[in-house]
Amino acid sequence: MRAIRRFTVRTVLPEPLAPLSELVLNLRWSWHPETLDLFEEVDPEVWARVGHDPVALLGAVEPARLEELSRDRRFLRRLADAADDLRDYMSAPRWYQTLDDGPRAIAYFSPEYGITSALPQYSGGLGILAGDHLKAASDLGVPILAVGLLYRHGYFTQSLSPEGWQLEHYPSLDPGGLPLTQLREEDGSAARVRISLPEGRTLTAQIWVAQVGRVPLLLLDSAVADNDAAARDVTDRLYGGGTHHRLLQEMLLGIGGVRAIRTYCRITGHAEPEVFHTNEGHAGFLGLERIRELTESRMTFDEALEAVRAGTVFTTHTPVPAGIDRFPRDLVEKHFGGDNSWPTVPVDRILELGAEPAEEGDRDVFNMAVMGMRLAQRVNGVSELHGEVSREMFAGLWPGFDVHEVPIGFITNGVHAPTWVGREVMELAGRELPSVVSRGQGWDAVDRLSDSDIWEIRGRLRERLVLAARDRLRASWRARGASPTELGWIDQVLDPGVLTIGFARRVPSYKRLTLMLRDPERLRELLLDEAKPVQIVIAGKAHPADEGGKKLIQQIVKFADDPAVRHRIVFLPDYDMALGQLLVQGCDVWMNNPLRPLEACGTSGMKAALNGGLNLSIRDGWWDEWYDGNNGWAIPTADGVTDPERRDELEAAALYDLIEREVSDRFYDRDGDGPPRRWLEMVKHTLRSLGPKVLAGRMLRDYVVDLYAPAAASARALSADAFEPARAFAAWKLRVSRAWPGVRVEHVETSGLGETPQLGSSLLMEATVNLGDLSPDDVAVEAVFGRVSAQDELIDPSYSALKLESAGDDARAHYSGTVPLDRTGSFGYSVRVVPAHPLMASPAELGLITLPEEPAGMTNGTLR
Ligand SMILES: *Cc1c(COP(=O)(O)O)cnc(C)c1O
């Protein structure tokens, strides 16, 4: 019989063990091995049985054992030390505390968080990144206050049918059985946030706090008795349900999230955030809620919009259009208009914010990414290449501007080393590379590591993966209906001495799970090579609704089921953080073969690199940026080839060749029994060159310095004097936008070129601009110059401001300046007028630009 309701009864700890619950409730244990050792000591056997989940441990351990521990002086001393260490970690000044003017607090919004497999509130890269972001923020003392949703079924766990088809299970989670505490009002009642819905309904949520080191993570949970059945199910599962369900989740995350932050700050005295960072578009409604807050104290929509934009950072995470949230416009209209409209936030203005650009967009769609970009003054992609791709993808929002001027920058993702790096590696680094461990600096010292130390640790990590893979494979075959007596062969699956390639990912089509199966015969040869065998460990989940992805998994599973190869290739079900850790630590090579440029960044290869693994990847995402020819291998991409079949074929062939000729060659190149010297050279070079870049600490510093601090400065500038600058800025934007059609470049003249223009000379440029109703203070007039294409298009031009010479009464203003002829080859120039205001973060911010009607570019000058 099924239970109609479940809950978890927590143990009452004997008084001397009270610090244990403090340790369990702070998720710092998820990246602190010493604390995990202490948990293990509570009861090693139970610890293994509950899969290293400390809350489950305390629920399962016998009271007699707890009594015993409460009298064990040695254990109590260790417990006291661990608790002291945590308190010290929580309060000691860190990197952020050395900064002068950082924001008092930063709110961080994400629909999913991968902190530990014991809190399964993530599906893939976005969530893992968010988890690493919080942990690195905690380590650096960055005052982030994070918000998400608590999904009662989390993400599904995966198993396989006898035919190798993906099966999904949604275990129900009880917050009482998770490392969470409930946020309560001073009177002890549960803190609540409420959102009104159409037809007089209300969506209510309670708030759970996951303490991630120094960072509080607020998780909203709609499973409360005040809600009707439909509202209760809003946070039932991650990325499940239809469009309407998803809209409600996003309203709760964005609007409810801001309200939860206000509630948390009121109850605990935490500083109010000055910056709001939204991790992908799902939380975009947070901007509307903040506009609502401000408009209720007598600001207009436009004024509030300016104040909100200044302090908002938006990170886009995918160049795949299907990865972007788009709602039917009507649905948004219904939820923010009609009987559910906010009196001071007109629904028409909301719909405008989410409207796709007229030329390429769909009028019936409300696009969350587009709204995110309009509500944030600072926008970034997650690798250099992804920044470029995003500028192209969203260029329609800034018509008239060159693609490279689209105001979307990039900060390349990083990974949290203490979470992903094997303990042995951390310990070696602690002994030999202390400044790398404490400050992330001094990576050149990697050269001093001895080959035999590294090789010995690599061997241990590989062996751990092999043993765990056998256990998981056995469990998987049992679940597929095999009896234990048929499974003897599993003891020989994988070999701790063989070159091990890891390949794990979610399974959307662009990641090309099955590229390696393109030529099955060739793959078999690689696996079964007598002298230089290769083994492959694969994992990944397909989205429950993605039949195509499930077919790909089935193809892999069928291939790996073949008795001829099954000792060299395995598919391990239920890819989660725990399996991810085993894989990135145990594999010698991390393979990644997405369809370039659809992988925004990718982070698994970074995790592998920090563990002494090497990357074998398509030059996409981070690998395009940091591959240097010697720190791994780049699979050549057939970028220009439009036939996808042909492209896959070419890239697969290149992949096989690389593995056969370069990767395994190097791995098996040994002097007698010694470690592979040439292989380890590459490992050390990888650590030296990538180590300083791939750390999440580097990423966090970049966010603080390049985005959070400037956003806080802008927000402060606009909110000074009771928001007077925000009002003035909004009024200025309105005035400039209205008057802009009157701006014209009337005349451009150049001199100083002579007969044959020469490198190093310069060009004198004079321009006459009719400013209409604007004044010279409102605009910047700039020379635009550089290389030109055969079609006279300026390629990656430079800009230089022209100086105002005189302004007459007739709205005409005269400008002049010089343009340096600083490169040989075809050269061209033009002039442009853009709005100018000290509070703008980019010339493209208003989307206004005026160019000469007749292109003034001259292309005949070929410089020598
Ligand atoms: C690191 C990780 C991801 C993200 O991997 P990408 O390489 O960025 O796609 C997803 N899931 C798990 C379990 C991970 O550990």
Atom of ligand 1 at shortest range from CA of 605: 7
785: tokens are: 């110059």
Same domain, residue pair 57 and 149: no
Distance from Cα 104 to the centre of ligand 1, integer Å: 31
Ligand 1 pocket mutation, candidates 318, 592, 604, 694, criterion most atoms within 8 A of CB: 604
Same domain, residue pair 201 and 288: yes
Distance from Cα 604 to the centre of ligand 1, integer Å: 5
Same domain, residue pair 23 and 136: no
Distance from Cα 132 to the centre of ligand 1, integer Å: 11
Residue nearest to atom 1 of ligand 1 (CA): 604
Distance from Cα 570 to the centre of ligand 1, integer Å: 18
Residue type, 787: R
Residue type, 749: E
Distance from Cα 589 to the centre of ligand 1, integer Å: 15
Cα separation, 506 vs 851, whole angstroms: 46
Which of 657, 688, 723 terminates a domain? The answer is 657
Residue type, 634: A
CATH number for 558: 3.40.50.2000
Cα separation, 711 vs 274, whole angstroms: 8
Same domain, residue pair 577 and 498: yes
Same domain, residue pair 181 and 250: yes
Atom of ligand 1 at shortest range from CA of 599: 9
| 750 neighbors 762 (Cβ within 8 angstroms) | no
Distance from Cα 322 to the centre of ligand 1, integer Å: 19
Residue 6: predicted pLDDT: 65
Distance from Cα 734 to the centre of ligand 1, integer Å: 45
Atom of ligand 1 at shortest range from CA of 125: 4
Atom of ligand 1 at shortest range from CA of 592: 7
Distance from Cα 378 to the centre of ligand 1, integer Å: 26
Nearest to 595 by CA among 515, 486, 713, 520: 515
| 695 neighbors 454 (Cβ within 8 angstroms) | no
- Asked whether residue 432 is assigned to any structural domain, the reply reads no
Ligand 1 pocket mutation, candidates 128, 318, 584, criterion most atoms within 8 A of CB: 128
Residue 3: predicted pLDDT: 73
Same domain, residue pair 333 and 190: yes
- Asked whether residue 429 is assigned to any structural domain, the reply reads no
Distance from Cα 126 to the centre of ligand 1, integer Å: 8
Distance from Cα 33 to the centre of ligand 1, integer Å: 21
Residue nearest to atom 11 of ligand 1 (CA): 124
Place of tokens 């505490």: 181
Nearest to 537 by CA among 575, 487, 484, 486: 575
Residue 823: predicted pLDDT: 80
Residue type, 54: P
| 462 neighbors 496 (Cβ within 8 angstroms) | yes
Ligand 1 pocket mutation, candidates 505, 595, 611, criterion most atoms within 8 A of CB: 505
Atom of ligand 1 at shortest range from CA of 575: 13
Same domain, residue pair 63 and 134: no
Atom of ligand 1 at shortest range from CA of 580: 15
Distance from Cα 124 to the centre of ligand 1, integer Å: 6
Q: Which residues pair with 503 in a beta bridge?
A: 538
Nearest to 36 by CA among 16, 20, 49, 60: 20
* Phi (first) and psi of residue 534, to 5 degrees: -125, 140
Which of 410, 426, 446 terminates a domain? The answer is 410
| 474 neighbors 486 (Cβ within 8 angstroms) | no
Residue nearest to atom 3 of ligand 1 (CA): 125
Cα separation, 693 vs 697, whole angstroms: 9
666: tokens are: 């190097």
3-state secondary structure string, 32-46?
CHHHHHHHHHHCHHH
Residue 107: predicted pLDDT: 98
- Asked whether residue 568 is assigned to any structural domain, the reply reads yes
Same domain, residue pair 599 and 623: yes
- Asked whether residue 462 is assigned to any structural domain, the reply reads no
Residue 699: predicted pLDDT: 98
- Asked whether residue 1 is assigned to any structural domain, the reply reads no
Distance from Cα 603 to the centre of ligand 1, integer Å: 6
Residue 855: predicted pLDDT: 55
Task: Give the structural domain span for 759.
Answer: 743-863
- The CA radius of gyration of the chain, in Å to the nearest whole number, is 29
Distance from Cα 593 to the centre of ligand 1, integer Å: 14
Alpha helices in 630-708 (DSSP H): 644-658, 664-667, 677-694, 696-702
Which of 389, 410, 431 terminates a domain? The answer is 410
Atom of ligand 1 at shortest range from CA of 123: 11
Residue 121 has what DSSP assignment?
B
Nearest to 602 by CA among 512, 498, 662: 512
Alpha helices in 207-242 (DSSP H): 229-232
Distance from Cα 582 to the centre of ligand 1, integer Å: 12
Atom of ligand 1 at shortest range from CA of 511: 9
Distance from Cα 780 to the centre of ligand 1, integer Å: 45
| 95 neighbors 701 (Cβ within 8 angstroms) | yes
Please state, in angstroms and as integers, the Cα–Cα distance from residue 856 to each residue in 633, 745, 749, 793, 805, following that order. Answer: 46, 10, 9, 12, 20
Rounded to 10 deg, the angle between the 451-479 and 677-694 helix axes is 80
User: pLDDT tens digit string along 380-406?
Assistant: 999 999 999 999 999 999 988 989 899
Atom of ligand 1 at shortest range from CA of 415: 1
Distance from Cα 37 to the centre of ligand 1, integer Å: 26
Residue nearest to atom 4 of ligand 1 (CA): 125
Cα separation, 430 vs 685, whole angstroms: 19
Same domain, residue pair 556 and 614: yes
Omega cis (within 30) before 54: no
Residue 864: predicted pLDDT: 39
The count of domains in the chain is: 4
| 730 neighbors 300 (Cβ within 8 angstroms) | yes
| 261 neighbors 276 (Cβ within 8 angstroms) | no
Distance from Cα 592 to the centre of ligand 1, integer Å: 11
Atom of ligand 1 at shortest range from CA of 583: 15
- Asked whether residue 444 is assigned to any structural domain, the reply reads no
Write out residues with Cβ below 6 Å of ligand 1. 124-125, 128, 505, 575-577, 580, 602-604, 607
Cα separation, 352 vs 375, whole angstroms: 11
Same domain, residue pair 560 and 627: yes
Same domain, residue pair 759 and 636: no
CATH number for 811: 2.60.40
10-residue stretch averages of pLDDT, the chain, 864 residues long = 69 92 97 97 97 94 96 98 98 96 97 96 95 98 98 93 96 92 97 97 98 98 96 92 95 98 98 97 97 95 97 95 92 97 97 92 95 97 97 93 94 98 95 90 93 97 98 97 96 98 88 93 97 97 92 96 98 97 98 93 97 97 97 92 92 96 96 94 97 96 98 97 97 97 94 77 93 97 92 89 92 94 86 96 94 61 42
- Asked whether residue 834 is assigned to any structural domain, the reply reads yes
Same domain, residue pair 83 and 205: no
Helix (H) or strand (E) holding 258: helix 257-268
Q: Which residues pair with 724 in a beta bridge?
A: none
Residue nearest to atom 15 of ligand 1 (CA): 580
Q: Which residues pair with 220 in a beta bridge?
A: 149, 207
Distance from Cα 217 to the centre of ligand 1, integer Å: 21
- Asked whether residue 690 is assigned to any structural domain, the reply reads no
Distance from Cα 646 to the centre of ligand 1, integer Å: 28
Distance from Cα 111 to the centre of ligand 1, integer Å: 16
Distance from Cα 621 to the centre of ligand 1, integer Å: 14
Ligand 1 pocket mutation, candidates 420, 603, 610, 616, criterion most atoms within 8 A of CB: 603
Cα separation, 134 vs 327, whole angstroms: 29
Nearest to 127 by CA among 200, 76, 119: 119
Atom of ligand 1 at shortest range from CA of 584: 15
Distance from Cα 506 to the centre of ligand 1, integer Å: 8
Cα separation, 518 vs 656, whole angstroms: 10
Atom of ligand 1 at shortest range from CA of 122: 11
